[in-house]
Amino acid sequence: MKRRGNLYPQIIEFANLLSAARQAQRGKRFRDNVLDFNYHLETELINLQKELTNKTYQPGNYRTFHLTGLKSRLISAAPYRDRVVHHALCNIIVPIFESTFIQDSYANRVGFGTHRALKRFTHFARNSRYVLQCDIRKYFPSIDHIVLKELIRRKIKCTDTLWLIDTIIDNSNEQEPVIEYFPGDDLLTPVTRRRGLPIGNLTSQFFANIYLSGFDHFVKEQLKAKKYVRYVDDFALLSDDWQFLATARLAIENYLNQLRLQIHPIKSQLFATKIGATFLGFRIFPDRIRVRSSNLHLARRRLRRLQSDYARGIIDREKANQSIQSWFAHLEHGDTWRLRQQIFTSLEWLRE
């Protein structure tokens, strides 16, 4: 496997840092920290470039909060200048790894995404008798730093770039504790190995794809799974052969042990597609696609909150409309015409 070197000059080039700053501010231009950074943009970027050149750069502290939904997640927001560095790094190294990813890995990739993944899964489900659906248990908190660094070094040999990558990984803040034992571990192994990546980082999302890229190839090339879809830590294999999927599950568990990962014992199941498979918030049946009940409940709750914020003047009509249109666009990927009509009739508070 060819390893790439001499990448660091491209990463710290001023033009790349400027491009990274523009990328990092998308959707956040009017936040105080972004406005302050942009007010002194040239000075900030020159200082950042000097720190990266001299290797005196050190990431700042994360701001953390819990995102509640179907399950609570710890989200970590890096300081804005660090997010600029993340974009600068990814601008250069993402193309190197992108060519190694399989076509049916859909998360955090330009031109892929949830709706394309849903379409692919639906096609597979409607042409298969059985599905093996798996969820990796506590994926981001479980990503092992040693394993991740070894995987990255298979494609990158630039010492300076590896220093920056290691600095970002090593600065990961403490995530949800995960105590799991794997073959060869002693009593203290789970507490001495550093694990976990902050979900909010661009680099974390990219590293998460690298971490499972070899697994994707294992499923496609060694298990010979013709129908396979993965979105972050949710993946599915589909087939008309029940025994093939049952055997594949055992092989998958063994492979993931090498990455110090485990599939969720309850959420990972093998069943007939005719009873309906849940994927990315939708329930896929042979003749229709429904919104998952729990997702619909959360969406209705958000709608009530949106209505309240609009009535109190916290958000304006344009902002409210943008949120609703975004949700409607998502619902259109299912058989939800009646549901959308019901929601529309409840939005009189937003119309003239």
Residues 70 and 193 in one domain: yes
Name the stretches of the chain with pLDDT < 50: 351-352
Contact 85, 52 (CB under 8 A): yes
268's enclosing H/E stretch is none
Q: Is residue 340 part of a domain?
A: yes
Per-residue pLDDT at 90: 97
Residues 302 and 275 in one domain: no
Per-residue pLDDT at 304: 72
Q: Is residue 352 part of a domain?
A: no
Report the Cα–Cα distance between both ends of the chain, in Å, rounded.
62
Write the CA distances from 148 to 26, 91, 212, 224, 301, integer angstroms: 28, 19, 10, 25, 38
Residues 167 and 186 in one domain: yes
Per-residue pLDDT at 346: 61
Q: Is residue 351 part of a domain?
A: no
Residues 238 and 96 in one domain: yes
Q: Is residue 244 part of a domain?
A: yes
Q: Is residue 1 part of a domain?
A: no
Expressed as residue numbers, the domain containing 338 is 291-346
Residues 136 and 81 in one domain: yes
Residues 15 and 162 in one domain: yes
**Residue whose structure tokens are 């009873």:** 275
**Residue whose structure tokens are 């491209």:** 10
Q: What is the pTM of this model?
A: 0.84
- Alpha carbon 342 to chain centroid distance? 32
Residues 166 and 233 in one domain: yes
How many structural domains does the chain have? 2
Residues 304 and 270 in one domain: no
Per-residue pLDDT at 352: 44
Query: What is the C-alpha separation between 186 and 158, in angstroms, rounded?
Result: 34
Q: Indicate the residue among 284, 313, 332 that finishes a domain.
A: 284
